[in-house]
Structure 1
Amino acid sequence: MRFLMLNWRDPRNPLSGGAERVTLGYLSALAQRGHEVFWFANAFPGCTRAEVIHGVQIVRGGRMGSSIFAARSWYKTQPRFDLVMDQHHGIPWFTPWWCGTSHVSYIHEVLGPIWNAFYPWPLSWIGRTQERWTHWLYRNARFWTACESTRDDLKRHGVRHVSIVRYGVDTVALPELPAKNLTQPVRLAVVSRLAPNKRIGEAVKLANVLRTRGIAAQLDIVGGGEEEPSLRSLVQQLQLQDCVHFRGRLPEETKDALLRDAHFLIHTSQREGWGLNVIEANAMGTPAVVYPVAGLRESTLHQRTGWVSAAETPKSLADGIARLLAKPDLYQTYRINAWQRAKLFHWSRILPAACDWLEALARGEHHVEPAELL
């Protein structure tokens, strides 16, 4: 069968992130089953027009504002696809009105307040309004997402049919859980693009709140992005140069080692499709302390695999860490639970049922729901 994914970015795009990682996971698994799998994405400076990544045929064309037209022109030259996957990132590809075959809309999160992080008013208002309008326009289309928060957001916007397929991770859980006592300095880790919607400054402020409470902490920030200069300025302003360290982008093995040594992963995003790095940290025996937002509420089970703060403030994050410092046995319980749960999210467990479902859609079996693994 022939499958097509439409997404603004592909794995080689400098702005690619978790969405592209999980998309490649699904598509490469379909390719391994012998299907023809294509991924159409925006072109970017220095890119090739076509290449193959893990068996997936990447095709690039157009830029922001023109790639839909480039995709349609290319699509007309192709043999019929059995399933077209229309990935939404604020603005979709409007495939129900031009693809002429089975299609499914794939979405990670409803952006909502994220528009405010990237655009000033009135552009942010326009973005939020068109997103709600687009979902109403797509109300009869089948959607596919990873968590209940996104499903509920879509239904509030009028979408009628949303299926949940969990994300997987490549990170293999440690075979044995090594000893790690919660002592000072508390080792905190952030793994993220340094983008406005990720609110990494909140993690820096957390280190400052802990210091004012007499709790020594070290914060490692893994990742890069446009917010790095302002974050470095914040670190200097708060005089935290001795305890906040920018590690840049790290190889997977180095990142895993850092997560294994950390006491907590800190996640302060405005919202997430899921929070892949939460599960990656859990696989290394490290629980997460996160903000109570869509996606992170699902990837971190409050007081079971980690701590979901009561409010979106550094003080509230610090409250959770302080509580666990006072109850080290509880911290060890979270570690064990997080490590065991992370094993359920390895791709080897997620992909077979996900691919079965996508194949059913490609055969026109639109009544079929994905198997519930978790």
Structure 2
Amino acid sequence: MIGRSTLFASILTLTAGISLVGAIASMSGNDNRRPRAAPPIEPPTPVLLAQANDRALPIGDRIGAVGLVEPSSQEMQIGTHASGKVAQVFVEPGASVKRDQPLFALDSQVAEAVLAQRRGDLAAAQARLALARARVPGLRAEVEAAQTAVDATRAEQDEGIDLVRAASGLNSGATITAREITRRQNYLRTAEANHKKARARLAIARANLSLLDETEGVGASIAVELAGLHQARQAVTRAEIDLEQRTVRAPADSSVLQVNLRPGEFAQAGALEQALMVLGRTEPMHVRIDIDEADIPRYSPGAVATGSVRGRAQHRLKLNFVRVEPLVVTKRALSGQKTERSDTRILQVVYEIEPGSPAVFIGQQIDIFIESEHEPDKDRNFVSYNHRKQ
């Protein structure tokens, strides 16, 4: 029994040794290494910036930064003055538009009704003014009639004065009775009262005429009607402007970059977190470069710069200096790197992409390499430099 167990153990040991030798032989025969996989996106590579003597600059003499492609006009955030339902959208993303070309229109039924009402008010104001002016000939005739009545009553008054004077020279009872003297005195008093009444009517007629007469200045009533007419015209102009503003138009020749509204949706007036439309002039394109505050002393306005498209590092963008934004601001466009601080302040520099460079899109991030200065320029006034460039 013991001999059989020893034989079985020897057989297992021999079998294990043979399997081990076969495995080693198989591994040595298939020692073909797997090919290295290429990265899905080619990492950016430093660009050698040539100086005047065609020598490439060392890596330490370049400023590395991130640039954001933007329109040369910057992004124009399109909104609306009035809130309302979108009735029609006239453009699509990528379309080229001219200045004052309609972009979209809001529902205008209420604005059209208000305009019709204001035009009716204007017509009524014009009619009231015409009616007031039409009364002038009649009022002039009333003045003439009142003046005639004054003249007639003055004559009666003069007649009464003569009669009373004649009676006062006669002896009562001999040549004239007392009754006749009293009658003549009463006639004079009646004539005087009629004359005063006629003069009052003449004053009223002249006052009524002066309210509407425009021969010696604008009368008060005409001035009121003219003011009402002017107010009605202003109301019509305001209603026309409100109706016109229901159609939003392009502020300048540009391209439609983004459309964020559809017919039937409600468009909110005012500044929105997401603009209703985004426009921009894409010929040429600009790159807004964020230079870290630690690299600002090494930057000189107008320095040579070139860009590298992410994913195609071998494609270079030729850049021409445009301007420096003189205000250093807090960094907003973060790249997501762990070493990046959110409290970093940056200097923004704008370069123009030369025609013929590889195609890029608005909002695309590119890697920027800028030639730095060993000796910083003593003239660090970026504002005056931009002024000289203009």
Structure 1 or 2, whichever has the larger Rg, is 2
TM-score by length of 2: 0.15
Pick 1 or 2: higher relative contact order, CA cutoff 8 A, min separation 6: 2
